[in-house]
Amino acid sequence: MRKRTSPVLQVAVPAPLRRHFDYLAPPNVSEQQLTPGVRIKVPFGGRTHVGVLLATSDDSSVPAGRLKRAMALLDTTPVLPDDMLQLMTWASTYYQHPVGEVLQHALPVLLRQGRSASAPTVTVWRLAAGSTLDPDTMAQLHQRAPRQAALLESLQQAPDGLNAAQFSDLQWDWRAAMARLVDKGQVEAHTRSCLSEPGAAAAQPGPPLNDHQQAAVAAATGHLGEFEVCLLDGVTGSGKTEVYLNIIEQVIAQDRQALVLVPEIGLTPQLVARFRKRLASPPAVLHSGLTDQERLCAWLAARDGEASVVIGTRSAVFTPLARPGVFIVDEEHDVSFKQQEGFRYSARDLAIVRARRTGIPVVLGSATPSLESLHNAARARYRHLILPERAGAARPPALHVLDVRHRPMAGGISAPLLEAMQRHLTQAGQVLLFLNRRGYAPTLICHDCGWVGSCHSCVTHMTFHQGERRLRCHHCGAERKVDVQCPDCGSPDLRSLGVGTEQIEQSVREQLPDFVIVRIDRDSTRRKGAMDRLLTQVHEGHGQILVGTQMIAKGHHFPNVTLVGVLDADQGLYSADFRASERMAQLILQVAGRAGRAERPGEVLIQTHHPDHPLLQALINDGYHAFAEALLAEREETSFPPCSHLALLRAEAPGREAPLVFLEAARESAEALAADGVSLFGPLTAPMERRAGRYRAQLLLQSDQRAALHRLLARWAPALEALKSGRRVRWSLDVDPMEMF
Ligand code: ADP
Ligand code: ZN
Ligand code: ZN
């Protein structure tokens, strides 16, 4: 190392290496312009990359002659403020993920590509002032150009104009048709801020809060400007969202911003509409359906303080805020807050870390809090705010176990459940059947020779989808047509084993032909807008029986549903994953919470082969808290989280040996680092040994002390990068893993 006259730039480059890269400053750039957080265009491996400046330094470990010069400075002011830069650097260390890739998550696509971070606007289309839509012209247009006609008619209904988001449901290329209308002068395109929705009405007040809600709001807002974690633990319908809205109002009144994180499927148009209606300033919404331009727009509005409220899914935790006031994580137990690939962060956990670094409160809300959060609340690390009853007059549903042993099951439905369905339907109630398995059946087998429809790339059966006569692998996406005969012996006697939602729908249709059935799962909602159409159908009463997977468990309320059938509770009781029973209980209660209102409380029937299972009994008889306590005792005994901390090293390769060889070397390397207080388990083959054509294995690290685990990880990750056997596998490190395969 030697002193240099011009500064060395430490740049986070999007590359899979756990380090930053050094460059000389671009030509004609002064030292004052080199603020951390600005984007810099750099040469990297023969290509050009957009990196982020982390810091400048006087020296570099790269020899003078080999230091490359950066190509250009892209910003005059940092795109990422210092607090975000610090948070991302922290996250990169905590999750042991390359800082360059971590920073990618903090930037909208357009900024990653090097586009300018300019003022947020969106295009709004309006009917041109002079354009006439007399019936004759329109009739002609309908003949000649039906798409243009349709657009003109929508615009006619919207004097304030419409933006791209409002056309996003259309299945055809509306932009081309709109461009032609603009060319012809019939439509005008304007730009405006992406935030102000046309015709947004003034804020409407919510219901007066009940005592529990008031206490929760007072507790959460008592120390704005100080770090505290509040666990808002309230049954479904207890008015948690009203509590959030009241907290947000107070935060806005102090001229600060609120960031609200919700699970992917919880971010419904209904939720956004509710926030929009109740708050005076329109929220910036960040979700996966946005165009790159819309996303940049919302992101900049948040960063520059133009948006007082930001609502988003997992990655929104990285949205910079000019004046952060509170973070809210709704359904904090939801696994979708944990990213399961690449940069494996937990948005909930990062929200807490960010709140601590910022010095503001964070509110975690759930009807079924994670064991991690309950554990922290029990140890007084979190303030525990409880909403024990449903708001308004609605009463909670009653849960009952339905012992299905020895009972005939017609297409997954036992006779007592069918009777209950008939009873509720004749009383004009709606019925919701929940089964967390889509398709017709999880297995297709030949009754004559035993052939089973297996995936060629994974060690698993393919799911039978009868409607399309296809076998589909739900793990790798492979699919193939099913012949009427067995591919091995030619027998026509192919039978399905087990049930999925498609079969439930069919069997209910056969058994209760007089009622309309609506199925909601990933297959039935694949097309854009399908989910909303199906939900509307249910809400308007044009569907008495609702069959669905966990897609129906969140965010939606079905007030006319009086009976919920949980078709298979056993899935979660005996699983290799230690979190399976926690998930099952959460899903059962979430689904149960969809039902019932004041005058018609819901009934919940849970089909099981293990009616006496102690966890199920605790859940049914004593409720979620008793269940969680029993489960926590189990975790304590077995030393699983939250009573210990885990990291999982996964490896996969086309051959069986390579992952095990790498993991063995990884284990030796950990042992050589004197892993005091950390236990190593493995290498073991993954529960699904082969997936998408690759063999998988893993090594589990476990420790009672987080610090000990992280001390080891910090020294181990660079050692792993250096392992030769690592080049023959794809490997990843998962800190605080949520899935154990
Ligand atoms: P959660 O988010 O806990 O599921 P919500 O905030 O969505 O609960 O409230 C459930 C229903 O109860 C909503 O229709 C809401 O408007 C209503 N509600 C909430 N708080 C009150 C209250 N204090 N008085 C009357 N109705 C309320
Ligand atoms: Zn056969
Ligand atoms: Zn597969």
Model pLDDT for residues 232-251, shown as the tens digit of each residue: 999 888 899 999 999 999 99
Query: Which residue's CA is the nearest one to ligand 1's atom 6?
Result: 239
Mutate-to-test residue for ligand 1 from 231, 232, 240, 241, highest number of ligand atoms within 8 A of CB: 241
* pTM greater than 0.95 (yes/no): no
Least confident window among 97-106, 149-158, 431-440, 479-488: 149-158
- Average pLDDT of span 576-583: 88
Report the separation in Å between the CA atom of 457 and the middle of ligand 1, taken as the mean of its atom positions: 48
Report the separation in Å between the CA atom of 489 and the middle of ligand 2, taken as the mean of its atom positions: 4
Report the separation in Å between the CA atom of 469 and the middle of ligand 2, taken as the mean of its atom positions: 17
pLDDT tens, position by position, 413-462: 999 999 999 999 999 899 999 999 999 999 999 999 999 999 999 888 99
Ligand showing the shortest atom-to-Cα distance for residue 486 = 2
* Ligand 1 atom closest to residue 593's alpha carbon, by position in its atom list: 4
The half-sphere exposure of 56 on its side-chain side, counting CA atoms within 13 A, is 19
Strand partners, 317: none
- Average pLDDT of span 257-277: 87
pLDDT band at 31 (very low <50, low <70, confident <90, very high): confident
Q: How far is residue 578's CA from residue 638's CA, in Å, rounded to a whole number?
A: 10
* Ligand 1 atom closest to residue 206's alpha carbon, by position in its atom list: 16
Ligand showing the shortest atom-to-Cα distance for residue 491 = 2
* Ligand 1 atom closest to residue 213's alpha carbon, by position in its atom list: 23
Q: Which residues line ligand 1 (CB under 6 A)?
A: 207-210, 213, 234, 236-242, 391-392
Report the separation in Å between the CA atom of 453 and the middle of ligand 1, taken as the mean of its atom positions: 47
The label of the residue with tokens 């060889």 reads 661
Report the separation in Å between the CA atom of 113 and the middle of ligand 3, taken as the mean of its atom positions: 34
- Average pLDDT of span 159-186: 83
Ligand showing the shortest atom-to-Cα distance for residue 456 = 3
At 422, which amino acid appears?
Answer: Q
Ligand showing the shortest atom-to-Cα distance for residue 483 = 2
The label of the residue with tokens 């137990």 reads 333
Confirm if 520 and 558 have CB atoms less than 8 A apart: no
Query: Which residue's CA is the nearest one to ligand 1's atom 15?
Result: 239
* Ligand 1 atom closest to residue 236's alpha carbon, by position in its atom list: 4
**DSSP label of 595:** B
Ligand showing the shortest atom-to-Cα distance for residue 446 = 2
* Ligand 1 atom closest to residue 234's alpha carbon, by position in its atom list: 3
- Average pLDDT of span 580-609: 85
Report the separation in Å between the CA atom of 459 and the middle of ligand 3, taken as the mean of its atom positions: 7
Residue 483 token pair: 């012949």
Angle formed by the axes of helices 269-278 and 240-253, nearest 10°: 40
pLDDT band at 592 (very low <50, low <70, confident <90, very high): confident
Report the separation in Å between the CA atom of 481 and the middle of ligand 3, taken as the mean of its atom positions: 15
Inform me whether the pLDDT recorded for 599 exceeds 80: no
pLDDT of the residue at 119: 64
**Domains observed in the chain:** 2-112 (3.40.1440.60), 121-193 (1.10.10), 211-387 (3.40.50.300), 398-440+499-633 (3.40.50.300), 645-735 (3.30.70.600)
Query: Which residue's CA is the nearest one to ligand 1's atom 5?
Result: 239
Report the separation in Å between the CA atom of 482 and the middle of ligand 2, taken as the mean of its atom positions: 13
Inform me whether the pLDDT recorded for 678 exceeds 80: yes
pLDDT of the residue at 36: 94
- Average pLDDT of span 81-108: 93
Inform me whether the pLDDT recorded for 195 exceeds 70: no
Report the separation in Å between the CA atom of 214 and the middle of ligand 1, taken as the mean of its atom positions: 13
* Ligand 1 atom closest to residue 208's alpha carbon, by position in its atom list: 23
Report the separation in Å between the CA atom of 570 and the middle of ligand 2, taken as the mean of its atom positions: 30
Query: Which residue's CA is the nearest one to ligand 1's atom 20?
Result: 239
- Of 402, 371, 373, 366, the closest CA to residue 590 belongs to 366
Positive/negative CA dihedral, 196, 199, 203, 205: negative
Inform me whether the pLDDT recorded for 644 exceeds 60: yes
Alpha helix (H) ranges present in 199-310? 211-221, 240-253, 269-278, 292-303
Report the separation in Å between the CA atom of 184 and the middle of ligand 3, taken as the mean of its atom positions: 51
Ligand showing the shortest atom-to-Cα distance for residue 473 = 3
* Ligand 1 atom closest to residue 235's alpha carbon, by position in its atom list: 3
* Ligand 1 atom closest to residue 244's alpha carbon, by position in its atom list: 6
Confirm if 492 and 484 have CB atoms less than 8 A apart: yes
Report the separation in Å between the CA atom of 687 and the middle of ligand 2, taken as the mean of its atom positions: 28
Report the separation in Å between the CA atom of 456 and the middle of ligand 2, taken as the mean of its atom positions: 17
Q: Exposed e or buried b for every residue in 513-541, given b needs 16+ CB within 10 A? A: eebebbbbbebbbeeeeebeebbeebbee
Residue 57 token pair: 């330094």
Mutate-to-test residue for ligand 1 from 242, 271, 334, 624, highest number of ligand atoms within 8 A of CB: 242
Q: Exposed e or buried b for every residue in 124-141, given b needs 16+ CB within 10 A? A: bbbbbeebeeeeeeeeeb
Report the separation in Å between the CA atom of 574 and the middle of ligand 1, taken as the mean of its atom positions: 35
Query: Which residue's CA is the nearest one to ligand 1's atom 4?
Result: 237
pLDDT band at 282 (very low <50, low <70, confident <90, very high): confident
Note every long-range contact of 737-740, with CB atoms under 8 Å and residues 24 or more positions apart, other chains counting: 737/344, 737/646, 737/647, 737/648, 738/335, 738/338, 738/340, 738/346, 738/579, 739/335, 739/340, 739/577, 740/576, 740/577, 740/578, 740/579, 740/648, 740/687
Query: Which residue's CA is the nearest one to ligand 1's atom 26?
Result: 392
Q: How far is CA 624 from CA 62, 334, 638, 656, in A?
A: 57, 16, 21, 42
Backbone angles phi, psi at 415, to 5 degrees: -60, -45
Confirm if 451 and 493 have CB atoms less than 8 A apart: no
Query: Which residue's CA is the nearest one to ligand 1's atom 10?
Result: 237
Q: Exposed e or buried b for every residue in 225-256, given b needs 16+ CB within 10 A? A: eeebbbbbbbbbbbbbbbbbbbbbbbbbeeeb
* Ligand 1 atom closest to residue 394's alpha carbon, by position in its atom list: 12
Report the separation in Å between the CA atom of 329 and the middle of ligand 3, taken as the mean of its atom positions: 34
Count of other CB atoms within 10 angstroms of residue 577: 14
Query: Which residue's CA is the nearest one to ligand 1's atom 14?
Result: 237
Confirm if 641 and 706 have CB atoms less than 8 A apart: no
pLDDT tens, position by position, 690-741: 999 999 999 999 999 999 999 999 999 999 999 999 999 999 999 999 988 7
* Ligand 1 atom closest to residue 367's alpha carbon, by position in its atom list: 3
Residue 677 token pair: 């207080």
* Ligand 1 atom closest to residue 330's alpha carbon, by position in its atom list: 2
Confirm if 487 and 451 have CB atoms less than 8 A apart: yes
pLDDT of the residue at 201: 56
Report the separation in Å between the CA atom of 446 and the middle of ligand 2, taken as the mean of its atom positions: 5
**DSSP label of 87:** H
pLDDT band at 221 (very low <50, low <70, confident <90, very high): very high
State percent of the chain over pLDDT 70: 96
pLDDT tens, position by position, 310-355: 999 999 999 999 999 999 999 999 999 999 999 999 999 999 999 9
DSSP helix, strand, coil percent of the chain (3-state; round to 5): 35, 25, 40
pLDDT of the residue at 737: 95
Ligand showing the shortest atom-to-Cα distance for residue 240 = 1
Query: Which residue's CA is the nearest one to ligand 1's atom 19?
Result: 239
Ligand showing the shortest atom-to-Cα distance for residue 459 = 3
* Ligand 1 atom closest to residue 242's alpha carbon, by position in its atom list: 6
Query: Which residue's CA is the nearest one to ligand 1's atom 25?
Result: 392
Report the separation in Å between the CA atom of 449 and the middle of ligand 2, taken as the mean of its atom positions: 4
Residue 632 token pair: 């926590």
- Of 639, 642, 638, the closest CA to residue 628 belongs to 642
* Ligand 1 atom closest to residue 210's alpha carbon, by position in its atom list: 23
Query: Which residue's CA is the nearest one to ligand 1's atom 11?
Result: 237
The label of the residue with tokens 């003034």 reads 202
Coil, strand or helix at 685: strand
Positive/negative CA dihedral, 441, 446, 448, 449: negative
Ligand showing the shortest atom-to-Cα distance for residue 394 = 1
